[in-house]
Amino acid sequence: MYAQAALRYQQVQTSTSTPGEILLALYEGLFRFLKGSKLCFENKQLVRGRELLLKSHAIISELLLALDHPKAPELCAQLEAIYEYCLSQILQANLKTDANLIGDILRVLTPLRDAWVEAVPEALRQSNQSGALKNAG
């Protein structure tokens, strides 16, 4: 019963979230899974570490698929290269159960996450302000 309620809440939250908010949620989950995997590998909990890496892989794959190349070709090309590098490192970390490789992924993605954390709320503020101006005029 509670699981169904939680699932419904997630569905409503996702359907009412902006693309930027969804992006931030994906990055939040990605970092949670990467950090958890790194910790598991360091503590020799290899099965759980691999499970978390697979979740990380799925999120990065989604981020890669969501790139809108016609809208921003240069930015998308740069993000694609970063995401493909991270996917490659995840595969290597999984094969070698190497926590250091996960640390490398976190170092590469941290500036991106930090930029999104700053940019998304600013874009929402600007969007709301322009919407308010349109409604006032």
Q: In whole angstroms, how far apart are CA 59 and each of 27, 124, 129, 136?
A: 8, 23, 31, 40
Token pair 């996450």: residue = 113
Nearest to 56 by CA among 40, 44, 72, 43: 40
> Which positions of the chain have pLDDT values less than 70?
1-15, 130-137
pLDDT on residue 123: 84
pLDDT on residue 124: 81
**CATH class for the region spanning 19-136:** mainly alpha
